[in-house]
Amino acid sequence: MIQLVRGFKDILPEEATVWQYIEQIARDHFGSFGFNEIRPPVLEQAALFRRSIGEHTDIVEKEMYTFPGSKGNLLTLRPEATASVVRAYIQHKLYASDPVQKLYTIGPMFRKERPQKGRYRQFHQINAEVFGIESPYMDAHLIFMLLSFFGKLAVDPLRVHLNSLGCPECRKPYKEAITAALSERAELLCTDCVRRLDKNPLRLLDCKVPGCREEVAHTPGMVDFLCDGCQAHFETVKSGLAAMGVVFQVDPRLVRGLDYYTRTAFEIQTDELGAQSAIAGGGRYDGLVEQLGGPSMPAIGFAVGTDRLAELILSRQDPGLRRPEIFFAAMGEAAWRKSFEWACALSARGIRVEIDFSERSLKALMRRADRLRAQYVLIVGDRELSENTATLRHMASSRQIAVPADGLVKAVMVELRSESQQ
RNA sequence: GUGGGUGUAGCUCAGAGGUAGAGCGCCAGGUUGUGGCCCUGGUGGUCGUGGGUUCAAGUCCCAUCACUCACCCCA
């Protein structure tokens, strides 16, 4: 048989209920923080990502699904959402009506990496992006929104890692300092890091190779190079978080693999997902809007990994399918036709109904109703038909009542409503 | 891209040269109109795929594919 593509996965019904739950909470929660949804497409010009994420990042160098379009241009399945949201912000001049835009988007991303636990080639993110606010209190506010979102989903405890990457002005001397400190010791570094030394020295900081760690430990931290503005910004972010009772740790090795970040960078981690510990991450990207052809505009955002979040929730509780409120058990052709009418009418009124389309014994029907964990069973057979009634059985209590066939739909709805209030 | 582990029933797994198994699930009966518990029966597999060794291969050998975990990196 034809199987699904490597690194991709089906989200089966039981798991999908968890996804619906996560996304619903996200919409409600972000909404109460003043965010509105935006839905950019999953396909973009390859150049968008090369220019935003950075030419020498792992994502752009080896992980993008890129293929030729019909006009000689290159198209890419988006590896992340921020670039698309920024593009939309600029293209539709959203800043013209109001430079401050708080947007969220939910959807799939694509990266051609080797799959493993918590890492898929199509994965899903919930992104939030804020444009037009430079205040460090926004950084703290956004991180608080993210953590309270996890709180609503009851997935804590989580670790909050925080760092400042500075701005282009203070990062330049810092990069030079790293390069200067390490290039004379390059023979002690791994081959990847030797390459990074030239292309992207910041990435040396979070290399996991022991030898590189040893060398990096002796280099100065970004914190020592922050300019006055960046320093003040970072301090306010930290004090703002502390004021809201957020526990975090400053992590000088937190760099993140996208070039556009400036100043605040953060990552939310868990110990419960094997090697893939990051469940959300983000940061400030004050230069990106201008870099992509828009006005000079501060911005900050984050991404939550929905796949990892769903796994975390599923590890704590078993999912279940939605229970039918009423299951129809009809015996015989005449009873079935009547049940069919009632079942359709109830479904159309928003009641969760299940009706069996095979001819089976009442025992078999009851067994099925039980397995589906139906709240009620409506039994209709010759006996009921002759008395012009139907038998409504409450499964948990085994209590049964006769319901007149005339006005049955309304009577059943009244009964369900009174039950749900108890 | 590199390394380790695993592929046998829908699911979890046993079988280690000699007739393909268990538990759970599913279907039915025990109750000619009543679920769960219990009992009985039934359904269900090219043993991942291809080749080799052998009288005989889930079982040994080779190849290959898939899945999975880890490295790298990230959500």
DSSP for A137-157, written as a single string: HHHHHHHHHHHHHHHHTT---
**Separation in Å: B39 C1' and A368 CA:** 20
Q: Which residues pair with A391 in a beta bridge?
A: A379, A402
Contact A336, A35 (CB under 8 A): no
The residue whose CA lies nearest the C1' of nucleotide B70 is: A275
State the pLDDT at residue A205.
76
Domains of chain A: 13-167+227-314 (3.30.930.10), 326-416 (3.40.50.800)
- Distance, CA of A3 to C1' of B57, in Å: 29
- The pair of structure tokens assigned to A309 is 């979040």
| Chain B bases near protein Cβ (<7 Å) | 1-3, 26-29, 31, 33-36, 66-75
What local confidence, expressed as pLDDT, does residue A352 receive? 96
- The percent of residues above 90 in pLDDT, for chain A, comes to 69
CA of A422, C1' of B22: distance in angstroms: 45
Q: Residues 74-93 of A near strand B (Cβ < 7 Å)?
A: 80
As a whole number of angstroms, the distance between CA A125 and CA A268 comes to 14
A272 CB less than 7 Å from any atom of strand B: no
Q: Report the nucleotide nearest the CA of residue A59, measured to C1'.
A: B73
Instruction: Give strand letter and number of the nucleotide nearest A358 (CA to C1').
Output: B27
Amino acid making up residue A14: E
Whether the CB of A189 is less than 7 Å away from nucleic strand B comes out as no
Q: Is the CB of A171 under 7 A from strand B?
A: no
The answer to whether the C-beta of A415 is closer than 7 A to strand B is: no
Cβ of A206 near strand B (distance < 7 A): yes
Residues A146 and A47: their CA atoms lie apart, in Å, by 30
A389 touches strand B (CB under 7 A): no
What's the pLDDT score for residue A257? 79
- Check: CB of residue A168 under 8 Å from CB of residue A256: no
**From the centroid of its chain, how far is CA A27?**
11
Q: What is the mean pLDDT of each run of 10 residues along chain A (422 residues)?
A: 85 90 97 98 96 90 91 94 98 97 97 91 97 97 97 91 92 84 77 76 75 76 89 97 95 86 94 88 96 97 96 84 94 93 97 91 94 95 95 95 96 90 67
Q: What is the reported pLDDT for A40?
A: 98
Question: Using CA atoms, how far apart are residues A107 and A130, in angstroms rounded to an integer?
Answer: 18
For residue A147, the one-letter residue type is L
Q: Give the DSSP H or E segment for A110.
A: strand A101-110
ipTM of the complex: 0.86
Q: Choose among A321, A325, A323, A322: nearest CA to A392.
A: A325
A298/B12 CA-to-C1' distance in Å: 54
Name the burial class of residue A269, with classes exposed (0-12), middle (13-18) and buried (19+) by CB atoms within 10 angstroms of its CB.
middle
In tens, the pLDDT along A125-161 reads 999 999 999 999 999 999 999 999 999 999 988 999 9
Distance from C-alpha of A405 to C-alpha of A387, rounded to nearest angstrom: 9
